[in-house]
Structure 1
Amino acid sequence: MSKNYYQLINRVDQRSNPDLFQMKALYAEENATSKLFENKKLANAVVYIYVQKAMKGVAPDYTTNSKIAANQVEAHLKKSHGKEVHFERQGSVMTNTHILKDNDIDLVQITNKSKGVDHVRLQSTLANPSLLNPIEHKNLKKHSDDFSQYAGNQLSDLKNIRTQSEIILESTYKEVDIQKENSIYVLVSSPKRDVDVVIATYYKGIDYMKTNLNHRRGIQIYNKKLDSLSNVDYPFWSIKRINERSILTNGRLKNMIRFMKNVKYDCDTIDNKGAIRSFHINAICYNIDVKRYQYAYFLDLLPVINDELIQILNNKSYRDNIKSVDGTEIIFEKDCDKKLLEISFLQFEISQILTDLDLKNKNFI
């Protein structure tokens, strides 16, 4: 075989289950059958075990402790900030697609004093009422009537929250990094977890104002170094979309995301902080037609992923239409050459795993 799967299995175990919690089976793992790999003896092969473990992700009990750690940090901050901030969670923990034992969870502190508003689109959309249903028009009209320019200084508010948070966390925890531009790093000792604390403001985009659904709200993250706000992101919409599609596919979407993350992490030719990040892997897997994998056995997800990566590499018009999970960004628009290079590395790694599975399958027949 082309890889040292014993070593890869050990790495996956260290990342996904360092505390050695009991792991659950994949969807219908015992009863489902593969269209491509029919021999049941294959289940004893190390390549089979690696794929299985790489898809399972982090032990649920470990994830629960990550959330407990974030709750502890929130409790300390809430004592000081009071009603000035609202707390949210973002990141792969909220979709259960995380694989690493570090950088476990993002705790987002959101100011209650002010919000960003897409006022230009609000007014232009209201100017075309025939394109709106009655509820949308009513909601937009209320947002327009209630709109008023914030009299304070939003950046100053966020800077104060950041400064105050640094003081609180440094006085509470032994290991705190306040030098990061977009977040404060905290190491919680019990349970031992990394928590990143982000300071942000809500952003009311047109889709939120049409519906008033909380998961359609955007956020803008405060950058300490630049004293500025990031572009608008819609993490809660992304979380909801991934979770809902994974329910539709009985967990298969998340299995593919975790598998790609693990393969990327173990690929020596890809920098873990390279061009392809979790954001892009989420988008690539989410873009795959559900009909191609909705009822697939877990081994049969590999050719689905492999075919998708080949399509991305060879078909410019196809990849140019792949958007982020929240639908706001074309993921190959920037740094395309670097991303394609890393995609080619990923595709090569997955094709090798497929070859090893095929060889083992034939050997057992």
Structure 2
Amino acid sequence: MAKNYSNRLLELRSRKNDINILQESYGYKGYTIDSYKQFIKMASESNDIQNYFIEAMAPVDDIYTKNTYKEADRVKNQLDKIKTSSLNFEYEYQGSVSNNTHIKAHSDIDVLVIIDRYIALEHPLVPSNPYQGNPIDDLMELRLTSEKHLTSAFPQADVDCSGAKAIGLSGGSLRRKVDVVPSNWFNTVDYDRTKLKHYRGIQVLDKYKKERILNTPFYHNFLLDIKDRNTSGNFKRIVRLLKTLKADSDQDISLSSYDIVAIAYNMETSKYYTGDKYILLLKNVYSYLNDLALMPSTARNNIDVPDKSRKIFNEASKYTGLTRLKDEVEELLKSLITSYGLSDYLVEYKAIAV
């Protein structure tokens, strides 16, 4: 069935814009969200399929991202109040907002709350002054103290303490969902050698299993930034597009945001070298996803996420997700070729301003 890209465009614009912030920032005082959508539509010179394609690749406006960080700062300011000489910590960010692949004005943001009592070391590194305390108990203290304080500090908000790895805050006076993630530093051998932050990992507490899970969010973001620079921004354009197609699909696409990033990351860098020939870029993405779908499962299931911490297709449902995402890309590609009146030959030469 043909997709209704006019409806999808409205959904995309609603997702990527906040009328209240637009009114504050740009002076659209008299506009409702519906009239603002119409204003954008009238200002466009091309059709809805083309607009959808172009806008899906674009980053979320910086005014919204700044507001996301402001809401995270409000939570951090409250957490600062529980700092003591014996319970101290620092903050970092992880997730799609931190690497600019988010697709919503109201994106969630993860705040890592990193305890300072100890630093875990990768084997064979040996601490010069071994820690005598219990790291799990320390993180549990941080987690439970944070839960109690945030519940009191944001009485109108929904403070969800049921998550294994994060405390989720939303609603009330908060304009964004903020996830607070108790954790500790994990110094890798590469970090010890270079002192470059992107080689530094973190261990996140699972409060139910009473164990720590290793993550490498800074190395992940570092690798994405390199790929994006090497492709003149086309890598992250495609990540945003694929996430948008998933969000707007009528089918359940069983791929996480992290999975989609990893799939796009593994496309050969040279296939991103299309300059402003974005329909050719989309054609390359479709060919790549089709090749992935047709690949023997033993080979496909051996493909790593960027930091090589796991395989992308580590669950059977992800293959179905891949094929459905491929179908979405194919449908958009065919619709764009028709809307521009192109032949397969002309796809190679069609430039689009983004």
| TM-score > 0.5, shorter chain as reference | yes
- What residue is the counterpart of 1:243 in the other structure? 225
* Alpha-carbon distance in 1 for matches of 2:171, 2:117: 29
Cα-to-partner distance string for 1:179-210 (whole Å, 9 max, x where unaligned): 12211111265561111100111112222223
Report the Cα offset of residue 95 of structure 1: 1.0
Q: AA paired with 1:97?
A: T
- What residue is the counterpart of 2:250 in the other structure? 268
Which runs of structure 2 are paired with 1:265-304 in the superposition (5 Å)? Answer: 265-270=247-252, 274=254, 276-297=255-276, 298-304=278-284
* Alpha-carbon distance in 1 for matches of 2:177, 2:262: 25
3-state SS, counterpart of residue 182 of structure 2: strand
Matched, 1:194 2:150: no
Which runs of structure 2 are paired with 1:346-357 in the superposition (5 Å)? Answer: 346-357=325-336
Normalised by the length of structure 1, the TM-score is 0.81
Which runs of structure 2 are paired with 1:271-350 in the superposition (5 Å)? Answer: 274=254, 276-297=255-276, 298-316=278-296, 318-332=299-313, 334-335=314-315, 337-350=316-329
* Alpha-carbon distance in 1 for matches of 2:95, 2:3: 31
* Alpha-carbon distance in 2 for matches of 1:189, 1:52: 34
**8 Å CA contact retained: 2:68, 2:106:** no
**8 Å CA contact retained: 2:93, 2:112:** yes
- What residue is the counterpart of 1:127 in the other structure? none
- May I ask how many residue pairs the two structures share in their alignment? 318
Report the Cα offset of residue 86 of structure 1: 1.5
Cα-to-partner distance string for 1:41-77 (whole Å, 9 max, x where unaligned): x961211111111111322100110011111211111
**8 Å CA contact retained: 2:50, 2:339:** no
* Alpha-carbon distance in 2 for matches of 1:357, 1:328: 37
Q: Which runs of 5+ in 1 are unaligned?
A: 24-41, 123-142
* Alpha-carbon distance in 1 for matches of 2:180, 2:78: 12
* Alpha-carbon distance in 2 for matches of 1:153, 1:363: 65
Q: Match for 2:95 among 72, 82, 91?
A: 91
* Alpha-carbon distance in 1 for matches of 2:143, 2:238: 36
Normalised by the length of structure 2, the TM-score is 0.83
Across the aligned residues of Structure 1 and Structure 2, the Cα RMSD in angstroms comes to 2.5
Report the Cα offset of residue 213 of structure 1: 1.5
Matched, 1:165 2:146: yes
Matched, 1:151 2:151: no
- What residue is the counterpart of 1:117 in the other structure? 121
Change (3 A) 1:103 1:162: farther
3-state SS, counterpart of residue 15 of structure 1: helix
- What residue is the counterpart of 1:26 in the other structure? none
Report the Cα offset of residue 308 of structure 1: 1.5
- What residue is the counterpart of 2:82 in the other structure? 80
* More contact order relative to length (CA 8 Å, sep ≥ 6): 1
3-state SS, counterpart of residue 117 of structure 2: coil
Matched, 1:218 2:201: yes
3-state SS, counterpart of residue 179 of structure 1: coil
Q: Which runs of 5+ in 2 are unaligned?
A: 26-43, 347-354
Aligned-residue sequence identity (percent) comes to 29
**8 Å CA contact retained: 1:102, 1:193:** yes
Q: AA paired with 2:151?
A: E
Report the Cα offset of residue 350 of structure 1: 0.9
3-state SS, counterpart of residue 208 of structure 1: helix
Change (3 A) 1:354 1:306: same
* Alpha-carbon distance in 2 for matches of 1:343, 1:43: 33
3-state SS, counterpart of residue 313 of structure 1: helix
Cα-to-partner distance string for 1:219-249 (whole Å, 9 max, x where unaligned): 111112222212x110001112212322332
Which shows bigger deviation, 201-210 or 352-361? 201-210
* Alpha-carbon distance in 2 for matches of 1:150, 1:12: 50
Cα-to-partner distance string for 1:14-47 (whole Å, 9 max, x where unaligned): 2112337499xxxxxxxxxxxxxxxxxx961211
